[in-house]
A and B are shown apart, each in its own frame.
Chain A
Amino acid sequence: MRKKYVGIFCGGNSIESEYSLRSAARIKEILQAQGHESVIIDIADTKNMLAKVAAHKMDLAYLVMYGVPGQEGSVHGLLELCGIKYTGSDLTACAIIKDKIFTKLTAKALGLNTPRYAQISKTEVSDIKTLKRKVSSIGGFPAVVKPVRCGGLSKGISIVKSIRELAPAVREAFRYDRRVMIEEHIAGDEITVCVLERGGNLNILPYVGIKYGGDAGFSTYKDKVAGKRILEIPAKLEFPRVKRAVDDACRTICKTLECKDYVYLDFIIRKTTPYLIEMGAVPGFLPSSNLPQAAANAGIPLSKIVSSVLRASRK
């Protein structure tokens, strides 16, 4: 393959920026080992980013952005208008995937299971009657409070068991995002499914089972950053036949959104029903991240994924 000059877009001003910078450094190492030249571009420094884009030397933008802004489509828009090819799914898919409500709407329309939800506006936080009505619309407590877009690494997310806990949890979530939702809590096994795409074909990697020791009831920010989650690859399924439903769900939604290169999907499996919780357009690339581990389990080293992404970007 011809040597490329790659801009690695990462960082930003979100909770996930630091994690993004570390993943970007790993991608840079891999690109270097493959003989490509690359430059790290922190999207937080808009001036520098625009200068780099305007210089028009880049063959490709390798996107390693996790937060907002970045993953919601603005950087994609910039690159599209400047005629620079980029890795991963296109602007529309990324914008939908970064938004938990749009991901759920898409899933719902495709007939996939996803926990019930209700959006809560800022003015409703102190309106007990409305809060109660919304909680009962999703099946009552316990309920999960989440920022719709701007969270990341589980920040702003909490499980609440009573109306007393709800308002503070919603307020906390509003620290991260203008839009907040409450979601039906599904008790079950948490899995992450990483999917590789190449030429329209989807390769579903061995499922990553996520176990946690803390008492939060889910993997928290601390667990995630410290790499303290216990991953089980391939995940042991209580009912192996659920695999078919999960695979089908992944294929259906990835095809609809026309996901490119790679994507991951988080599910909770209750008995034999998988519930789609959310998706991610850009996986983590650290040794402790899901994709490198799931791929390794399938005998695919990360370097091979990266070189395949670079080859695909020629089109």
Chain B
Amino acid sequence: MNKLMVGLLMGGTSSERGVSLCTGKELFANVNRERFDVTCVEWNADNSWTEYSVNSLSAVKSVHSNALELFRGLKPDVVLIALHGANGEDGRLQGFLDILGIPYTGSGVLGSALGMNKLLCKQIFHAIGVDTPEHLVFGGQYPVVPKEVDLKIQKTIGYPCVVKPNASGSSIGVTKVHNVMELADALDKAAKEDEYILIEKYIKGVEVSVAVMGEHNSSEKFVLPIVEIVPANEFFDYESKYTDGKSKELVPARIPKEVEKRLGEQAIKVHDALMCNGYSRIDFLIKDDVLYALETNTLPGMTNNSLYPKMARAIGMTFPQLIDKLIDLGLARFPKKEYQANKSK
């Protein structure tokens, strides 16, 4: 049987480029070689695109000025997306691959775009009856004045609060703020990542992450064992997220069976509502029996230290098996896509 060609896409121009390269390397090492050949594709920081030789992580085959040029030549059977953050996780790449008719892992345009936009995501949570911490929004066309922001915080959500860029993953640019003195720096940090800043009420509770595997609205999707995050730092920040040993992650989480069941139901509700494909990971805070959804990740981290592979291991699914499954889900989704069903000239 001929092997399928997997285009393994990593890098990107976002602040999560480093994480993506780690994810890419580990995926490269763990793709099932009996079924697939792998061509690595790197989205370079300067927006150029590098194609590597088949089954090599280092031998550069060609460099292209844009993605279209590269993919028109490469034509992989499926793209395994190892990107994170803006560019990779926000729907643009998915739309691009849709047009080229190339199957890919994970969610489509809409699910990816929503997953990357914390504000819209929270609004959808709200609309489907999933609790989420109260928030304020600043930025856009209006200048962010710390004094005014402080006033608004005091009048509404109060301190401490969490300042976040609207469109970034991996906790980059996120700060817990205890008082007005810390506010200006936190706003600056968040503004570096996105023009919109989200300020959330701080909820001190048990932090868990819930992984869903499968297609939205299908009967075959399921929830993996829930992970509890016990942070060493003030909260689960970028440093502890990607360095071994900085935070403790417990699978399964130390939560009552009944809460576990409700978390699973809420996660599925979000996965379905956002029309996620393949996989998604939703972060929750549990306080006084209320489950607060914080955000959803449509391309969760896939390094050895990442949560999703850990949760999969808890049901006996190895890393290579997990990758196989995601590729298969991506391939299965494609022939059914609307535009291919439409008449074509």
CB atoms of B273 and A78 under 8 A apart = no
Q: Which residues of A contact B72 (CB under 8 A)?
A: 50, 54
CB atoms of A44 and B127 under 8 A apart = no
**B215: min CB distance to chain A, Å:** 12
How long is the Cα–Cα vector from A200 to B127 in the complex, in angstroms?
Answer: 26
B153 located at the interface, meaning its Cβ lies under 8 Å from any Cβ of chain A in the complex: no
Report which of A13, A68, A69, A95 forms a contact with B91, defined as CB distance below 8 A. A95
**B273: min CB distance to chain A, Å:** 7
B143 located at the interface, meaning its Cβ lies under 8 Å from any Cβ of chain A in the complex: no
Given known contacts A14-B342, A76-B92, A200-B140, is B68 in contact with A95 (CB within 8 Å)?
no
Instruction: Name B59-113 residues within 8 Å CB distance of A.
Output: 66-69, 72, 90-101, 109-110, 113
Q: Which residues of A contact B116 (CB under 8 A)?
A: 92
How long is the Cα–Cα vector from A45 to B72 in the complex, in angstroms?
Answer: 15
CB atoms of A72 and B109 under 8 A apart = yes
Given known contacts A14-B342, A77-B96, A200-B141, is B127 in contact with A72 (CB within 8 Å)?
no
Cβ contacts B199-233/A at 8 Å (1 or 0 each): 00000000000000000010000000000000000
Interface stretch of the complex, out of B29-37, B117-125, B185-193, B315-323: B117-125
CB atoms of B123 and A82 under 8 A apart = no
Q: Which residues of B contact A46 (CB under 8 A)?
A: 99, 101
A271 located at the interface, meaning its Cβ lies under 8 Å from any Cβ of chain B in the complex: no
Q: Which residues of A contact B68 (CB under 8 A)?
A: 50, 53-54, 78, 81-82
**A144: min CB distance to chain B, Å:** 20
Q: Which residues of B contact A77 (CB under 8 A)?
A: 91-99, 109
How long is the Cα–Cα vector from A199 to B141 in the complex, in angstroms?
Answer: 8
Report which of A95, A109, A150 forms a contact with B127, defined as CB distance below 8 A. A109
CB atoms of A110 and B98 under 8 A apart = no
A178 located at the interface, meaning its Cβ lies under 8 Å from any Cβ of chain B in the complex: yes
CB atoms of A74 and B338 under 8 A apart = no
Report which of B67, B97, B124 forms a contact with A109, defined as CB distance below 8 A. B124
A142 located at the interface, meaning its Cβ lies under 8 Å from any Cβ of chain B in the complex: no
* Interface size class of chain B, counting residues whose CB lies under 8 Å from the partner chain: 35 or more
Given known contacts A68-B339, A91-B113, A105-B128, is B123 in contact with A73 (CB within 8 Å)?
no
A99 located at the interface, meaning its Cβ lies under 8 Å from any Cβ of chain B in the complex: yes
Chain B: interface secondary structure?
Answer: helix
How long is the Cα–Cα vector from A72 to B337 in the complex, in angstroms?
Answer: 13
A238 located at the interface, meaning its Cβ lies under 8 Å from any Cβ of chain B in the complex: no
Q: Which residues of A contact B119 (CB under 8 A)?
A: 256
A236 located at the interface, meaning its Cβ lies under 8 Å from any Cβ of chain B in the complex: no
B155 located at the interface, meaning its Cβ lies under 8 Å from any Cβ of chain A in the complex: no
CB atoms of A69 and B339 under 8 A apart = yes
Given known contacts A54-B72, A92-B90, A95-B113, is B98 in contact with A74 (CB within 8 Å)?
yes
B47 closest partner in A (C-beta): A83
Given known contacts A45-B345, A109-B123, is B96 in contact with A121 (CB within 8 Å)?
no
CB atoms of A76 and B123 under 8 A apart = no
CB atoms of B345 and A44 under 8 A apart = yes
CB atoms of A75 and B110 under 8 A apart = no
A193 located at the interface, meaning its Cβ lies under 8 Å from any Cβ of chain B in the complex: no
Report which of A13, A74, A104 forms a contact with B344, defined as CB distance below 8 A. A13
How long is the Cα–Cα vector from A141 to B128 in the complex, in angstroms?
Answer: 23
Q: Which residues of A contact B94 (CB under 8 A)?
A: 73, 77
B114 located at the interface, meaning its Cβ lies under 8 Å from any Cβ of chain A in the complex: yes
How long is the Cα–Cα vector from A81 to B88 in the complex, in angstroms?
Answer: 10
Cβ contacts A62-76/B at 8 Å (1 or 0 each): 000000110011111
B3 located at the interface, meaning its Cβ lies under 8 Å from any Cβ of chain A in the complex: no
Report which of B95, B98, B336, B342 forms a contact with A13, defined as CB distance below 8 A. B342
Q: Which residues of B contact A14 (CB under 8 A)?
A: 342
Q: Which residues of B contact A248 (CB under 8 A)?
A: none
Q: Which residues of B contact A256 (CB under 8 A)?
A: 119-120, 123
A133 located at the interface, meaning its Cβ lies under 8 Å from any Cβ of chain B in the complex: no
Q: Which residues of A contact B287 (CB under 8 A)?
A: none
CB atoms of B217 and A121 under 8 A apart = yes
CB atoms of B95 and A92 under 8 A apart = no
CB atoms of B123 and A69 under 8 A apart = no
Q: Which residues of B contact A178 (CB under 8 A)?
A: 336, 338
How long is the Cα–Cα vector from A192 to B336 in the complex, in angstroms?
Answer: 34
Q: Which residues of B contact A83 (CB under 8 A)?
A: 47, 66
B343 located at the interface, meaning its Cβ lies under 8 Å from any Cβ of chain A in the complex: yes
Q: Which residues of B contact A99 (CB under 8 A)?
A: 110
B126 located at the interface, meaning its Cβ lies under 8 Å from any Cβ of chain A in the complex: yes
Residue from B92, B124, B126 having most chain A Cβ neighbours under 10 A: B92
CB atoms of B67 and A73 under 8 A apart = no
B342 closest partner in A (C-beta): A13
Q: Which residues of B contact A311 (CB under 8 A)?
A: none
How long is the Cα–Cα vector from A274 to B96 in the complex, in angstroms?
Answer: 37
Q: Which residues of B contact A200 (CB under 8 A)?
A: 140-141
Query: 3 tightest CB-CB pairs across the interface, nearest first?
Result: A77-B95, A109-B123, A200-B141
* Chain A interface residues (CB < 8 Å from chain B): 13-14, 44-46, 49-50, 53-54, 56, 68-69, 72-78, 80-83, 91-92, 95-96, 99, 102, 104-106, 108-110, 121, 149-150, 177-178, 199-200, 255-258
13 additional contacts, CB 8 Å, given A76-B92, A256-B123?
Answer: A46-B101, A50-B72, A73-B109, A74-B95, A74-B98, A77-B97, A80-B96, A91-B92, A95-B91, A102-B114, A106-B123, A121-B217, A199-B141
30 A-B Cβ contacts within 8 A? A13-B339, A50-B99, A69-B339, A73-B94, A74-B95, A74-B109, A77-B94, A77-B97, A77-B98, A80-B96, A81-B93, A81-B96, A82-B66, A82-B68, A83-B47, A91-B91, A92-B116, A92-B117, A92-B120, A95-B91, A95-B109, A102-B114, A105-B124, A106-B124, A108-B127, A109-B123, A109-B126, A109-B127, A177-B338, A200-B141
